[in-house]
Structure 1
Amino acid sequence: MPRPAGIARVGAVLLGTLGSATAAEPPTGCTRGGSDARAYLDCLNARQKASEETLARAEAGVEQAIAARQDLPPPQRNRWRALFEESQSRFVLWRNFECQSIAPFEGSEAERSVGGRLGGIGVLEQRMVCLIIHNEHRASDLADRYAPPGGWKQAPPVAGEASANPSAAQGQPTAPVSPTVNSVAPDPASRSSATSGSAMPGGTMRIIEMSP
């Protein structure tokens, strides 16, 4: 399991990707150019959903890799799995707070209203771009650490859809919206849940949805 190399590689990519808040185009495959803001948000929405599925499959692959370690007694495998689930839940809590509360300030497209609140399409863009980047890098990191040489032979299934997976149900993308949205404070209850035990809830991304 080349963990140190994987972490170093992902860290370098994160620094290179997130370090420039003024990049012309976010590294999502979606093009901001043109006047069709709805099409751009739809593209980010689809990419975010795909990144959630990629992360959920990586988590399923980790579960399979742990179960395959027959050299370890069952109690150790069970503890390993429980600790991984807790680690993943903590990642989700951190990711949601980062993308909900911090990412909107890092872009240049957010509109500032009276009182300094951020709104507009720029807020939605920054939040979804943040979720996409962190989901994909987390999935890549897990693959580096747990996938067998040559990678998983096939994509591990997503067990029980999103409800059975802590991160698949989090950071739900917004539907196409009108380009006006108020910022929302992160849910403090989701942060306090981080100490409630090994089976930790993942928290909820609270991105406002508004009718077109």
Structure 2
Amino acid sequence: MRPLVLAAAMIALCPLARAEDARPSETACDATKIGARELAECLRTNADKSDRQLAAAVEAAVKSIDARQGLLSSQKARWRRSLIDAQAQWVAWRDSECQDVAPFESGMDAKSGDPRLRCIIDYDAERVSSLKARYP
């Protein structure tokens, strides 16, 4: 038990550990460095950017499917449809999570910015990373 407490204290005091744990929305829009108006604009801009990056990652995944060797065109078509359907379901889940859940978890605090936009940025970054890893 004692080593765990010591390890937790070291992590809490180590600035490097906290920097590595920063969420994409915090890295893009640091509430400690910009004012509320700039923060709101930064979050809106980065949420739009993250949506474009997500769309590009899905498009790249579809192209990766099309480039796969050893599959029939009907298999590729089914895989593409399945990926597109899964992506639509994922976006619906993300939108519900970010619109309905995130505000309750963090509250609408102007100092940290809109939690809905932060949520979108963070989840989009995770999904883009996942798609890039699965469809190189």
| Shorter-chain TM band | 0.7 to 0.9
Corresponding position of 1:53:
52
Gaps of 5+ in 1: 1-15, 19-25, 111-119, 148-212
**How has the CA–CA distance of structure 1 residues 35 and 49 changed in structure 2, closer, same or farther, with 3 Å as cutoff?**
closer
Amino acid at match of 1:70: Q
Deviation at 1:125, TM superposition (A): 1.2
Amino acid at match of 2:63: Q
Deviation at 1:100, TM superposition (A): 0.1
Deviations 1:79-119 (A, max 9, x none): 000000010001001000000000001215x2xxxxxxxxx
Residue 32 of structure 2 aligns to a residue whose secondary structure is coil
Q: Which structure carries more helix by proportion? A: 2
**How has the CA–CA distance of structure 1 residues 43 and 32 changed in structure 2, closer, same or farther, with 3 Å as cutoff?**
same
Q: Is the 8 A contact 1:28 1:44 kept in 2?
A: no
Amino acid at match of 1:144: A
**How has the CA–CA distance of structure 1 residues 17 and 97 changed in structure 2, closer, same or farther, with 3 Å as cutoff?**
farther
Deviation at 1:29, TM superposition (A): 2.0
Deviation at 1:50, TM superposition (A): 1.3
Gaps of 5+ in 2: 1-20
Q: Mapping of 1:119-138 within 5 angstroms?
A: 121=110, 125-138=114-127
Q: Work out the CA distance in 2 between the residues paired with 1:123 and 1:101.
A: 18
Q: Is the 8 A contact 1:28 1:129 kept in 2?
A: no
TM-score normalised per structure 2: 0.75
Q: Is the 8 A contact 1:51 1:132 kept in 2?
A: yes
Deviation at 1:46, TM superposition (A): 1.3
Q: Which runs of 4+ in 1 moved over 4 A?
A: none
Amino acid at match of 2:95: N
Amino acid at match of 2:121: I
**How has the CA–CA distance of structure 1 residues 100 and 123 changed in structure 2, closer, same or farther, with 3 Å as cutoff?**
farther
Q: Work out the CA distance in 2 between the residues paired with 1:84 and 1:28.
A: 29
The root-mean-square deviation of aligned C-alpha atoms, in Å, is 2.3
Amino acid at match of 1:30: C
Residue 140 of structure 1 aligns to a residue whose secondary structure is helix
Deviation at 1:30, TM superposition (A): 1.1
Q: Work out the CA distance in 2 between the residues paired with 1:101 and 1:123.
A: 18
Corresponding position of 2:133:
144
Greater RCO (CA < 8 Å, at least 6 residues apart): 2
Deviation at 1:70, TM superposition (A): 3.3
Q: Mapping of 1:5-44 within 5 angstroms?
A: 27-33=26-32, 36-44=35-43
Q: Work out the CA distance in 2 between the residues paired with 1:34 and 1:57.
A: 30
Question: Identity over the aligned pairs, expressed in percent?
Answer: 33
Bigger radius of gyration: 2
Q: Is the 8 A contact 1:44 1:129 kept in 2?
A: yes
